[in-house]
Amino acid sequence: MKKLLVIFIAVLAFSCGDNKKTDTPAETRPIGSGVEEVTPSETDAVANLQIEGNDQMQYNKKEFRVKAGQKVRLTLKHVGSMDKKTMGHNWVLLTQGTDIMEFGQASATAEDNDYIPKDREDQVIAHTKMLGGGESDTIEFDAPPAGTYEFICSFPGHVALMKGKFIVE
Ligand code: ZN
């Protein structure tokens, strides 16, 4: 009985030690090495954006803000489990003045082109692949000139719920 208790405590102590491990990198980061001067300018230059789509036909974000001229790195993750044929999600950034409902309707007939209508590609600033549950895709593009843009999922019927603003300042 005593032996079991000792093992139990040992396991507890071990798992505590393990948790602490994840905290250490911040403390052990070198100070004044010059590395920190480089990092902020790099993170300024690239806007790292993340957005998720789920099985309930929803994005987890309605708005992004970036600076004009900034490089944008955007990752879309489908956090659901449904197939891309029934609950596909992509992220499509459209030019100003594009009617998102019209674009969504046109994309319904563009299954062969990942639901991006070929005759409307000039209205697309950037887009990810169409994803199914568990998949993700990362794209890079230059932020367009200052203004407010709209993004959508162009899977048939999704634009009504899956849309948001992309604001360039
Ligand atoms: Zn979708």
CA of 110 to the centre of ligand 1 (A): 14
Helices (H), 22-164: 24-28, 35-45, 84-87, 100-107
Average pLDDT over residues 29-41: 46
SS3 138: strand
End-to-end CA distance of the chain: give it in Å, rounded.
Answer: 67
37-79: per-residue pLDDT in tens?
Answer: 444 455 568 999 999 999 999 999 999 999 998 999 999 999 9
CA of 87 to the centre of ligand 1 (A): 6
Give the model's pLDDT for residue 36: 44
- Give the Å distance between the CA of 57 and the centre of ligand 1: 6
Rounded distance, CA 84 to CA 135, Å? 9
Note whether 72 and 49 are within 8 A (CB): yes
Q: For residue 77, how far is its CA from the centre of ligand 1 (angstroms)?
A: 11
Q: What 3-state class would DSSP assign to 165? A: strand
Ligand 1 centre from 96 Cα, in Å?
Answer: 21
Residue-wise pLDDT tens digits, 132-158: 999 999 999 999 999 999 999 999 999
b/e 79-101 (16+ beta carbons within 10 angstroms → b): ebebebeebbbbbbbbeeebebe
The CA 149 to ligand 1 mean position distance, Å, reads 18
Rounded distance from Cα 130 to ligand 1 centre (Å)? 8
What is the 93 CA–ligand 1 centroid distance (Å)?
Answer: 14
Of 70, 156, 162, nearest to 106 (Cα)? 156
Q: Ligand 1 mean position to 144 CA, how many Å? A: 24
pLDDT, mean of residues 3-15: 42
Q: How far away, in angstroms, is 115 Cα from ligand 1 center? A: 10
Which pLDDT score is estimated for 79? 98
Q: How many C-beta atoms surround the C-beta of residue 145 within 10 A?
A: 9
Cα of 63 from ligand 1 centre, angstroms: 16
Q: Are 89 and 79 in contact (CB under 8 A)?
A: no
